[in-house]
Structure 1
Amino acid sequence: MSFDNPYAAPEADLTVIKEVESDGELATRSTRLGAAIVDSLIGIVYAMPITYLLGTWNYISQGLTPPIGLSLTATALGFLAFLLIHGSFLKANGQTIGKKLAGIRIADLNGNVPDLGTLILRRYLPISIVASIPLLGAYLPIGDVLFIFRKDRRCVHDLIAGTKVVLNQKQR
């Protein structure tokens, strides 16, 4: 006899859905770290002259916070230098120089190379702008990187852009 009992315990389908990678293996945390270190060293090479020429270095060397306008100008010029150095690699394969050397690449959630506009406007620009804000900008990189310990190994910038970092099958 079947009837609707308002006091009955609810029923739920408890079938476990297995997570499937659509394109290759996720890059390891250590591989991503290695690529980030290479990209950071490259970034220092172009950031130091920009910082010095704009006068931002004078503020920093005295322990002062540069004015927001100066910080944003330095960020914009640094971002432009980043695009000049890494832009062609990002457009072609979803890689920075560090990622290319590490054999990993950025992919959208379907495993495809994201278009350059998506990478710039959703992956790199928001983080660059927020990172240039005094106080808040000091904490963002830490929070961003800590997200790598999630099961899907996606950082904040990956979540914003709808991307993931995978092993590059062409280089394996």
Structure 2
Amino acid sequence: MELSSRTNRLLAQIIDAISIAIILSPLLYFGYQNGYINFDDPNLNSIGFEAATALVGFLAYFAMNFKLLKNHGQTIGKRALYIKIVNQDGSATSLKDLIFKRILFQWGVGYIPVIGGIISIADSLTIFGKKRECLHDKIAKTKVVYV
């Protein structure tokens, strides 16, 4: 199984991010119009609204990708670029492992005060190793390969 290129992984991530942004845009617009989001003074933002937006984003991501993840180890972006997530040995990854070892790490770590941003950057930068693995791949014991 040939490892996916870094470029294809990045493009898949961008496609996934755009698909979530399309869904979250109306919610963010509502939050801005009703004073829950303040771009002039971020300290005035409602933590509850931010948490709700994060939860809606995760649920939207999961809803959009559930069937693809369960049946093929793919997200919308990965499907578009003919790549998929498999275990290190090349076998199919269970949905449970994809969610709890990989996706929740990627989404959740960014919300840890102070160190979350650092870990998120480290997660992305580790792809430049010769195995082309991100930190979340190492934790979940997965790799991304061409279909």
Query: What is the DSSP-based 3-state SS (H/G/I as helix, E as strand, rest coil) of the residue aligned with 1:61?
Result: coil
Larger radius of gyration between Structure 1 and Structure 2: 1
Q: In the alignment, which of 37, 40, 56 is matched to residue 62 of structure 1?
A: 40
**Residues 104, 87 of structure 1: alpha-carbon distance in 2 compared, 3 angstrom cutoff:** same
Q: In the alignment, which of 146, 156, 168 is matched to residue 125 of structure 2?
A: 146
Measured after TM superposition, the shift of residue 126 of structure 1 is: 2.1
Measured after TM superposition, the shift of residue 60 of structure 1 is: 4.8
1:122 paired with 2:101, answer yes
- Structure 1 distance, partners of 2:38, 2:87, is 37
Between structures 1 and 2, the one with greater helix share: 2
Q: Please say if residues 86 and 145 of structure 2, whose CA atoms lie closer than 8 Å, have aligned partners that are also in contact.
A: yes
Query: What is the DSSP-based 3-state SS (H/G/I as helix, E as strand, rest coil) of the residue aligned with 1:105?
Result: strand
Measured after TM superposition, the shift of residue 47 of structure 1 is: 2.2
Question: RMSD in angstroms over aligned alpha carbons?
Answer: 2.2
Measured after TM superposition, the shift of residue 134 of structure 1 is: 4.7
Measured after TM superposition, the shift of residue 120 of structure 1 is: 0.7
Q: Return the letter of the residue paired with 2:54.
A: T
Q: Please say if residues 36 and 49 of structure 2, whose CA atoms lie closer than 8 Å, have aligned partners that are also in contact.
A: no
- Structure 2 distance, partners of 1:157, 1:54, is 31
* Paired positions, count: 145
- Structure 2 distance, partners of 1:125, 1:74, is 15
Q: In the alignment, which of 29, 53, 56 is matched to residue 6 of structure 2?
A: 29
**Residues 154, 61 of structure 1: alpha-carbon distance in 2 compared, 3 angstrom cutoff:** same
- Structure 1 distance, partners of 2:23, 2:119, is 22
- Structure 2 distance, partners of 1:57, 1:103, is 42
Identical positions, percent:
36
- Structure 2 distance, partners of 1:48, 1:139, is 26
Compute the TM-score of the two structures, normalised by the length of structure 2.
Answer: 0.85
Q: In the alignment, which of 80, 94, 111 is matched to residue 101 of structure 1?
A: 80
Q: Return the letter of the residue paired with 2:10.
A: L
Deviations 1:9-51 (A, max 9, x none): xxxxxxxxxxxxxxx1000111111111111111211222333
Q: In the alignment, which of 138, 141, 144 is matched to residue 159 of structure 1?
A: 138
Query: Please, which runs of 5 or more residues in structure 1 have no aligned partner?
Result: 1-23
Compute the TM-score of the two structures, normalised by the length of structure 1.
Answer: 0.74
- Structure 2 distance, partners of 1:81, 1:70, is 16
1:20 is aligned to none
**Residues 57, 89 of structure 1: alpha-carbon distance in 2 compared, 3 angstrom cutoff:** farther
Deviations 1:119-144 (A, max 9, x none): 11110112212213454444443222
